[in-house]
Amino acid sequence: MQNLCLTSAQNYELSKSLRDSGNWNSWPFLSESQLDSNAIYLASDSLVAKVCLVAIGDGSQCQALSLADSMPGYHDNAVAYKLVNLTCVLNGQADDEWLCLCTTHCICAVEFGSAEAGCEQPKLQVMGEFDNEILAVSWSPGCDSVAFVTGNRRLLLMDSQFEPLWEAELDQAGFGREAFINVGWGKKETQFHGSAGKAAAAQPKEVAPAPSAPWDTGRVGISWRGDAAVLCTSVVGAATGVRQIRVWSPQDAGALLATSDSSCSGLEWALDWRPSGSLIAASRRRLTDGQLQVQLLERNGLCHGEFSVRATTDTTDIERIQWNSSSELLLVELIDRVDSNGPKTGNLALLLRMHCCNAERLKYRPFRLQTIEQGLGPTLRQAVRQVLRQALAWALRQTDRQ
């Protein structure tokens, strides 16, 4: 599994106007077009652009839009327009798409004209504004609803037209509706306790949840399950200071279903729900020795297992976690918290029968790849599929021997 390597890569040169528009390393947002496989969208806090990876003609490789010139009040309060999320959204007819650009206080729709039509000027429309700061945004897999976490500690769900559906308090007491029920079997009071006596049965042995680590920046994570029936959040509690992952029901007015187990200490903000629906992968730093890990949790909040991530330095953080569409590969993106503009490292992990293997390490500049399939490229995708077939054959042989 350690012999998988990147055999080829394709570089695309951007137009001079786009290169001269600002510091390219400060453009952290990337979203691929859902209708045109040769187009991607890039954005920074001041500019959004559509780049055609296959040139159609001279001067038609990219279209850029200045946010400062398109948003009213940008120059008066640029902090309020800090970019939070960039998502390419399909219209209901699935034959047209638009770019949803979300800043800390407003939602904007950006439409780019067809490159064949002579690079029409992109158009930006402000769809709505928020009084409270937007901390995190996540569209559902079908792009029919979008979830927000706001600065007043509310979880808000809207439809694709940004009409509110429901909102819920993040800091709710209790485990949730699906709390475990103790039917009384195997009570401690009825068990043998040796020399300690039955008085030991009355001693509470619950594990107190540990507060978030000093290096936790308080970022918020949101992730949907593949069928959009449930979603989860990773938030630091306002009163407790403990970061917990909570599962919510979009179909039941935002009812809280479950909360991560108190033994899952050291959780950080990055998380992604496995598309098959069985597990949630979340970033974690073990409090005892600072080891970076990926924690796997079940839908009911119980810990399912974990595996360590090879960090390059003591200041390495997990920036992002993402499953591929087949739920077999997990991308763990690492970044140095001191040099955030430096190269990022992607750890590609293979999940086979609940055993994780670090299969590949990729280094790239700080752009946020939207999907694992896009980031790998066709050559590496073929190599990964071959590795999966070989690993599955090996696992079956081991099973036969047992």
Q: Write down the pLDDT at residue 261.
A: 87
Residues of the chain within CATH 2.40.128 domain(s) are 170-175+209-396
Q: Does the structural domain 170-175+209-396 have CATH classification 2.30.30?
A: no
SS3 for 116? helix
Residues of the chain with pLDDT under 70: 1-28, 53-61, 92-95, 114-120, 180-209, 339-402
Residue pair 261/301 in contact (Cβ under 8 Å)? The answer is yes
* Cα Rg of the chain, angstroms: 23
Looking at residue 16, what is its pLDDT? 62
Predicted local confidence at residue 56, as pLDDT: 47
pLDDT at 364: 42
* pLDDT at residue number 207: 58
Distance CA 215, CA 337 (A): 10
Question: What's the pLDDT at 232?
Answer: 97
What's the rounded Cα separation, in Å, for the pair 215 and 397?
45
Q: Please report which helix (H) or strand (E) contains residue 336, including its range.
A: strand 329-336
CB atoms within 10 A of CB 256: 22
Q: CA 271: distance to chain centroid? A: 5
Q: Which pLDDT belongs to residue 199?
A: 59
pLDDT at position 17: 61
Residue 373 has what pLDDT?
A: 46
CB 51 within 8 A of CB 40: yes
The pLDDT assigned to 73 comes to: 73
CA atoms within 13 A on the CB side of 392: 7
Q: What is the pTM of this model?
A: 0.78
